[in-house]
Structure 1
Amino acid sequence: MSSAVSPAFRTVLVTGATSGIGWETARLLAGRGDTVIVHAPDQASGDDAVTRLVAAGTDVLRLRLVVADFSRLDEVRAMAARVAEEHPVLDVLVNNAAVAAPERRTVTADGNELSLQVNFLAAYLLTRELAGPLSARPGSRVVNVSSSMHRTASIAWSDPHRAKRYSSGAAYAQSQLALTIAAREQAPWTSVSVHPGVCDTGLLRLYAHEGDSALQGAECVVRLCDPATGLVPGAYYDRRALSPAAPVAMEDRTVRRLCKLADRLVGAKSA
């Protein structure tokens, strides 16, 4: 179990921090004294998120804004390069950005199914691109905000973009399973995945008609960011409890196979 001692004030990057769980996570972490790098998909939503954070009592000096559209992998790389340059030490990366898969199959300019890219491939690439800052100080963490829906999913290995048989539910669930599996890859930092609960966010319609508040979900995420919380590397948490992930996510060969697939989908473009 990982429980390395970290400095009192840390640097944390939260993706998808303009609304919902991501915004509340950024607010809570900044309130603890951390420097929070707020990721937004565009400048306007980022400026609005920062304005609302400050209005909610956040110290503006604790906030940094970065912008990248995760449906464009070149923007993910550019954002990672900026973060690495400005923050050579990164204590926590929260991979929270997510979209619901559209009803009609949508392919990005990079050639990937939209939800697979935004929800998983962008996080996978970002984590790799930030390996230097994440390795700079002992005790760093990567928290993948996943979903209980990963239990309903399978990886379409021969057709990950679902060209032959597409459904929005299956595509979204696949992206969450991939994110859960990726947390088990061996790295110099401690990675985990977490289902923050069914929360009243933009993704609520995928789960139910009502749910917990975004703040309640964020509290589950922030707990895993806290150096005082011991983590089981590669583990999956359901809200605050350690929970078994889907059996396929626990197979070492599946982790290797997924990383090989992800490297093919993003690696050739970054070579």
Structure 2
Amino acid sequence: MRLDDKTVVLTGATSGIGEAAARLLAPSVRTLVIQGPEPASDVAPLIKELGGETDVHYVRADFTSFAQVRRAGTEIRAAVPAIDVLVNNAGVPGAGRRRVTTDGNERTLQVNYLALTLLTQRLLPAIHRGGRIVNVSSTTHRMTGLALDDLNLTDGYDAVRAYAQSKLAILSYSLRLAGELAGRGVDVVTISPGVISTGLLHAMFGGGGVRVEHGGRRVIEAITAEVPTGTYIDDGEIVAPSDEARDPSVAAALAARTTSLIRH
């Protein structure tokens, strides 16, 4: 996919991998919509840097609130009626102690996964044939299974488990979505950008990782790569996700539970 005439929506774009991807995308695309939780005044310097010939829009939304996710979807649709690429990158680390959103969900699950599905649903009508959805997962999805009877981890919570489960949910959802959208000509690609030196990584694992620009480049590669829908790319290599991520029965059960949690 060429980027020069495209409209791209990028969540989690005000820090870490998302900000790095935004800086790489801005000189190449026609329109860039970025999302973050910060007030617009805090993001103004970044928007100024990203501007120039590119039309840049900022949408503020805290993904711990479904109301704000829905509002973000409405604002994005108003700003850009047609979308070529949606990159769902927003994410938080698992907290040291279990935290619950005002919507009643474990925070990591809601921000990383449930909000992603809700925003994607709201924006799907604007993504036209030939478009692509890129969902950012993680190789940590292999570290756990989905607690389908207790996705909110009311029993046995720990930070890494919460994060890994949210990333496994993203992969399972993405593969199911790829099948659903195949007839519409909209691709779904999921990536693990690698072990990147971000606040998220350091919050859970203490340090390490390569520069955020590496993660930003992996996002761009996922947008432009000539790969089939449903592809999972782990740090530049096409690989098979875990068995559970590829299990259609698990995906169906997850979809039903997801709908229940968002409507709750």
Is the CA contact (8 Å cut-off) linking 2:11 and 2:18 kept in structure 1? yes
Q: CA offsets per residue over residues 183-216 of structure 1, 9 Å max, x none?
A: 1122232112101011111112234622111111
Match of 2:65 among 72, 84, 97: 72
For normalisation by structure 1, the TM-score amounts to 0.89
Q: Distance in 2 between matches of 1:167 and 1:245?
A: 23
Aligned to 1:124: 117
Match of 1:21 among 12, 17, 24: 17
Match of 1:209 among 194, 203, 207: 207
Q: CA offsets per residue over residues 74-125 of structure 1, 9 Å max, x none?
A: 1000110111122111111111111111111111010100000000000010
SS where residue 233 of structure 2 aligns?
strand
Identify if the C-alpha distance between structure 1 residues 74 and 256 changes in structure 2 by more than 3 Å, giving closer, same or farther: same
1:171 positional shift? 0.8
SS where residue 93 of structure 2 aligns?
coil
Aligned to 1:90: 83
Aligned to 2:48: 54
Q: Distance in 1 between matches of 2:212 and 2:101?
A: 28
Q: Distance in 1 between matches of 2:227 and 2:206?
A: 29
1:225 positional shift? 1.1
Aligned positions, number:
257
Is the CA contact (8 Å cut-off) linking 1:147 and 1:176 kept in structure 2? yes
Match of 1:182 among 167, 170, 173: 173
| Structure 1 residue runs without a partner (length 5+) | none
Q: Distance in 1 between matches of 2:195 and 2:3?
A: 32
Q: Distance in 1 between matches of 2:233 and 2:44?
A: 29
SS where residue 173 of structure 1 aligns?
helix
Aligned to 2:96: 103
Tell me which stretches of 4 or more aligned residues in structure 1 moved more than 6 Å: none
Please tell me the root mean square deviation across aligned C-alpha atoms, in Å.
1.7
Aligned to 2:196: 199
| Structure 2 residue runs without a partner (length 5+) | none
Query: What percentage of aligned pairs have identical amino acids?
Result: 34
SS where residue 129 of structure 2 aligns?
coil
For normalisation by structure 2, the TM-score amounts to 0.92
